[in-house]
Structure 1
Amino acid sequence: MLSLIGVLFLLFFSGVSAVQNIKVQGADYVNNVTSDRFQIIGIAYQPGGSAGFIGGSGIDPLSNGTLCLRDAALMQRLGVNTIRVYNLDPSLNHDLCASIFNAVGIYMLLDVNSPLPNESLNPGDLTSSYNSAYLNRVFAVVEAFKNFPNTLGFFSGNEVIQFSGSETVVPPYLRAVTRDLKQYISKHSSRNIPVGYSAADVRDFLADSFAYLSCDIDGSSSDETRIDFFGLNSYSWCGGDATFQTAGYDILVQMFGNTTIPVFFSEYGCNKVKPRVFNEVQALYGPEMTGVMSGGIIYEYVQESNEYGLVDLHDNGTATIRIDYNNLQKQYNKLDIKQLQSGNSSATMLKAPRCSGGLITGASFSKSFKVPSLPSGGQSLIDNGIQNPNNGKLVDVTETVVKLDVYGSNGGRIENLAIKPLPEDQSNTPNGQDTTGATTTTASGTSTGPKPESTTGGAGHLRMNLLLTCVALSVLALRST
């Protein structure tokens, strides 16, 4: 009996708890265990921007656990369930950061390309840039993140079809990279991880980009060149006076109305009117759009020179919340999460159209669905895997309290800022918190509101209940001897 109690203790107090995988099911994301629909409530996360990414520096957005803990705590309060990370160094250790975001129910959408040489497709020189060194790079990103259960998907490209001329030559190469990634994942990952594309909102190319990348070349459901999801970087809703119609959201709903894969905003959040009020959130997650769209990713978490940020990050590791963060939090808190998680049965019934030139409306857009063959050495990489892969893995998250000072938009320091680990079947959701001032102190130290709830909720309460169960079993065992 005592050995049984020991086993129960080890089982109940395992330090690593994983979120459930999210799968693509027709035009929806679906929780692989609960079958709840998953709507992306996301934020772009790239401190320093593309200019801040320096290969070989030993730093990328997911390499510093102390900073990730700070940011995950603020994102959990905000209510997001997904981050998008653009530029990553696959040789670095991302275990702690990925595990922290996993612990709070936040998934990761990851770009496999970077702005460094030989690490993205060059629309002006596709035949040279599509080479085995490039494939080694994108496969290395897969290796680094394939084992994390909160890896939601990989972007094979971002806004590659954007300028005049790119629509003629780029599309077949995007299908080629998609194929290569899906074949590599199939051979070297224990689970299927979706691969998709993030498009610029260039209306001359948008509908054709979607039609070209999402159709089936051979008419089967196993076409490996077909994307699993489609992201749109859209900034058409600007200011509190914008509407569903003036922002052109009605046109987008019509454009993607018959989608057979998840479609979402891979970036949104126009900043022409400041501060942003984010009333487009109610449209995106409202009845007019949720039948077609799978949510969106706000651009962006960190305030950079382009002034899209929700949070100011300082050189000493401290952070200050901006008004935009507060405004977005208020919008998220209005969402009906149970309604968003309800199934969209009609979205799973549609079959992808067969690829043909008739799907394409633009005169200059590629109508050729002949996908380039693998470059020299590419097949060997897929068959045998890359050399010396850096495989990430979940680790114990032993620190939950943020030690770096974080300040509210009112100037007061946020007290007791910490992550709140969630049970393994939950993703993070808006929880009604108001970070504006409810948990801060003013500069003079006067409290402006009640203390935040205990950070031992969720998984913490579960483990406490299990502890009490073990104690009870121990008492019974002793009495029976």
Structure 2
Amino acid sequence: MVKSARVFTVLCGLATTAVAVNPIIVDGKDFVDSVTKDRFQIIGVDYQPGGSSGFDGKTDPLSEPEICLRDAALMQRLGVNTVRIYNINPELNHDECMSIFNAAGIYLVLDVNSPLENGALNRKAPWESYNPIYMNRVFGMVEAFKNYPNVLALFAGNEVINEQSVRLVPAYIRAVQRDIKDYIAKHADRPIPVGYSAADVRDILMDTSNYMSCEIKNATSSRSDFFGLNSYSWCGDSSYTKSGYNILTEDFANASFPVFFSEYGCNEVQPRIFTEVQAIYGEDMTQALSGGLVYEYTQEDNDYGLVKVNSDGSVKLLIDYANLQKQFEKLDLNRITSANVTQTSIEPVECTPDLITTKDFLNTFDLPKRLDSIQEMIDNGVDHKSGQIVDVKETKVTQKITDHNGNPVEGVELKILSDGESNLPGASTSGNKSGSGSSNKDTETSAAGATVASGMLSMVGAAVAVALTMVW
């Protein structure tokens, strides 16, 4: 990724609540704040209310401001700095929701695909689905979101490579990444990282990583800028070795791009106590991985939720929410955000067949030829309106919020952070645990034998600005 020589000014032109986070760039195997140069560790959750099966394109998680305000405030209170969203309709207006998350200091990692027709690569016949209709939608995602400073990155694919995929799939994923990156370079005012989210299939995991991270000589860059891993190997009160996290640390210790958990949070033992958080952000793993995203924010049929959203819009914070919040508040934030020159100096290796060790995994790097119609879209752009940061007019959450015991949580409100500030655990909380507001602790002994005590800070005053100059 480009590290310097590009300057731009985000002119908000707004009222007193307009702020902007600093864009994040890739430097070696780290995500880095483009202004402060601090290392950026992903502390986040996956967010797709209703699940992928409930996505019809008429709405999406970033199209309803009242819901975004409620959830952004609760995520800010939880301590996250990043949210992943799987299914988005680029035709909808996302200005208010993106501005709400931006004001909260929360970044977005967005999947460019959808479960709708012509919305993703077909793992069994990628040559059929890699077509102008599909790529027009992908480029529409870039156009829709390129101007929001809190877009951290884009996923070009999610678990496309697995036991059912055909041999050529990796080449088509790299072709899509090539096209997205070329489009961004021509039509966006800043670099936006593009990468892949992989299933934790042990037999092919490192081949997938090696295929996505190497550089094809004398070719437009199609390599992944980062690598997400969907892993559920730590269940209950496991350990660094029992879960296999030590193996993952060894596997990715010398990776040439940022690696993070794009999904984690096994629910085989309930309630979840999230002791893996201390390992993920511990001294060993932070040298290999860049944090992770807990699956998932809302309670769906698969029973992974941190909160339960009721039909009237009210929210119950589940015990998992309290447990995760407590684990986040233990983190040594100064250590995990410290820059490390040994991390940022790692360069990608050249793509060669010997990087691949599995017999049936693709070991050639000749990518599918770009169709003339796709090249034309890259040259001229697609006809799509680009979003903009707008004023955040409301900060108070009006929906009823209760804790896991059914007690009201009063005073939940979005805290608008200063320019260039991202959310951190324990720093931007709001709302009391008890109905009276007289107590700031709530202790619950879970069925797993964990005791959770969550303390919170009260909301502090908002810092205000109208413009932000960003340099990288």
1:49 to 2:51 alignment: yes
Counterparts of 1:206-217 in structure 2, within 5 Å, are 206-217=205-216
Alignment partner of 1:377: what SS? helix
Contact 1:277/1:324 (CA < 8 Å) preserved in 2? yes
Letter in 2 for 1:19: V
Specify the alignment match of 2:169 in structure 1: 170
C-alpha deviation, 1:433, in angstroms: 7.9
Alignment partner of 2:240: what SS? coil
Question: Which of 239, 244, 250 is residue 240 of structure 2 equivalent to?
Answer: 244
Specify the alignment match of 2:155 in structure 1: 155
Structure with a larger share of its residues in helix:
1
C-alpha deviation, 1:390, in angstroms: 2.3
Deviation readout 1:81-133 (Å, 9 max, x if unpaired): 00000000000000011000000100000000001110100012211110000
C-alpha deviation, 1:412, in angstroms: 1.4
Specify the alignment match of 1:28 in structure 2: 30
Alignment partner of 1:84: what SS? strand
Specify the alignment match of 2:94 in structure 1: 94
Specify the alignment match of 1:196 in structure 2: 195
Alignment partner of 1:193: what SS? coil
Counterpart-to-counterpart distance in 2, 1:229 and 1:154: 10
Quickly say closer, same or farther: Cα 1:146–1:206, change in 2 above 3 A.
Answer: same
Contact 2:79/2:429 (CA < 8 Å) preserved in 1? no
Quickly say closer, same or farther: Cα 1:440–1:349, change in 2 above 3 A.
Answer: closer
Counterpart-to-counterpart distance in 1, 2:337 and 2:180: 29
**Structure number with higher relative contact order (C-alpha < 8 Å, ≥ 6 residues apart):** 2
Counterpart-to-counterpart distance in 2, 1:100 and 1:381: 31
Alignment partner of 2:84: what SS? strand
Quickly say closer, same or farther: Cα 1:132–1:48, change in 2 above 3 A.
Answer: same
Counterpart-to-counterpart distance in 2, 1:68 and 1:107: 13
C-alpha deviation, 1:15, in angstroms: 3.5
Quickly say closer, same or farther: Cα 1:420–1:432, change in 2 above 3 A.
Answer: closer
Q: Percent identity?
A: 51
Contact 1:330/1:434 (CA < 8 Å) preserved in 2? no
Counterpart-to-counterpart distance in 2, 1:271 and 1:113: 26
Counterpart-to-counterpart distance in 2, 1:84 and 1:15: 24
C-alpha deviation, 1:368, in angstroms: 1.2
1:430 to 2:420 alignment: no
Deviation readout 1:353-372 (Å, 9 max, x if unpaired): 11011000000000110000
Structure 1 vs Structure 2 CA RMSD: 2.0
More off after superposition, 340-349 vs 31-40: 340-349
Counterpart-to-counterpart distance in 2, 1:303 and 1:12: 36
C-alpha deviation, 1:266, in angstroms: 0.4
Question: Which of 232, 257, 267 is residue 229 of structure 2 equivalent to?
Answer: 232
1:132 to 2:127 alignment: no
Question: Which of 31, 36, 39 is residue 37 of structure 1 equivalent to?
Answer: 39
Contact 1:130/1:375 (CA < 8 Å) preserved in 2? no
Counterpart-to-counterpart distance in 2, 1:453 and 1:342: 24
Contact 1:232/1:266 (CA < 8 Å) preserved in 2? yes
Specify the alignment match of 2:449 in structure 1: none
Question: Which consecutive unaligned segments of at least 5 residues does structure 2 have?
Answer: 1-11, 442-455, 467-472
Deviation readout 1:297-354 (Å, 9 max, x if unpaired): 0000000000000000011111100000000000000001111110121112222111
Letter in 1 for 2:439: G
Counterpart-to-counterpart distance in 2, 1:120 and 1:403: 37
Specify the alignment match of 1:459 in structure 2: 463
Counterparts of 1:35-434 in structure 2, within 5 Å, are 35-55=37-57, 57=58, 59-166=59-166, 168-218=167-217, 223-240=220-237, 242-387=238-383, 389-431=384-426
Deviation readout 1:148-173 (Å, 9 max, x if unpaired): 0000010000000012443x110100
Alignment partner of 1:163: what SS? coil
Alignment partner of 1:66: what SS? helix
Counterpart-to-counterpart distance in 2, 1:60 and 1:359: 39
Counterpart-to-counterpart distance in 2, 1:328 and 1:15: 29
Letter in 2 for 1:265: F
Counterpart-to-counterpart distance in 2, 1:457 and 1:272: 41
Contact 1:333/1:432 (CA < 8 Å) preserved in 2? no
Contact 2:14/2:390 (CA < 8 Å) preserved in 1? no
* TM-score, normalisation: structure 2: 0.90
C-alpha deviation, 1:375, in angstroms: 2.7
Deviation readout 1:393-448 (Å, 9 max, x if unpaired): 0000010101111111121111111000111121100016888xx71344xxx555
Quickly say closer, same or farther: Cα 1:54–1:426, change in 2 above 3 A.
Answer: same
Contact 2:42/2:293 (CA < 8 Å) preserved in 1? yes
Letter in 2 for 1:48: G
Contact 1:132/1:376 (CA < 8 Å) preserved in 2? no
Counterpart-to-counterpart distance in 1, 2:377 and 2:311: 40
Alignment partner of 1:414: what SS? coil
Alignment partner of 2:135: what SS? helix
Alignment partner of 2:278: what SS? helix
Alignment partner of 2:287: what SS? coil
Quickly say closer, same or farther: Cα 1:170–1:136, change in 2 above 3 A.
Answer: same
Specify the alignment match of 2:20 in structure 1: 18
Counterpart-to-counterpart distance in 1, 2:458 and 2:242: 44
Specify the alignment match of 1:439 in structure 2: 432
Contact 2:81/2:422 (CA < 8 Å) preserved in 1? yes
Letter in 2 for 1:440: K
Q: Rg bigger for which structure?
A: 1
Question: Which of 439, 442, 454 is residue 449 of structure 1 equivalent to?
Answer: 439
* TM-score, normalisation: structure 1: 0.88
Alignment partner of 1:35: what SS? coil
Counterpart-to-counterpart distance in 1, 2:380 and 2:213: 28
Deviation readout 1:205-246 (Å, 9 max, x if unpaired): 110000001001117xx8421110000000000011x11111
Letter in 1 for 2:209: F
Question: Which consecutive unaligned segments of at least 5 residues does structure 1 have?
Answer: 1-9, 464-481
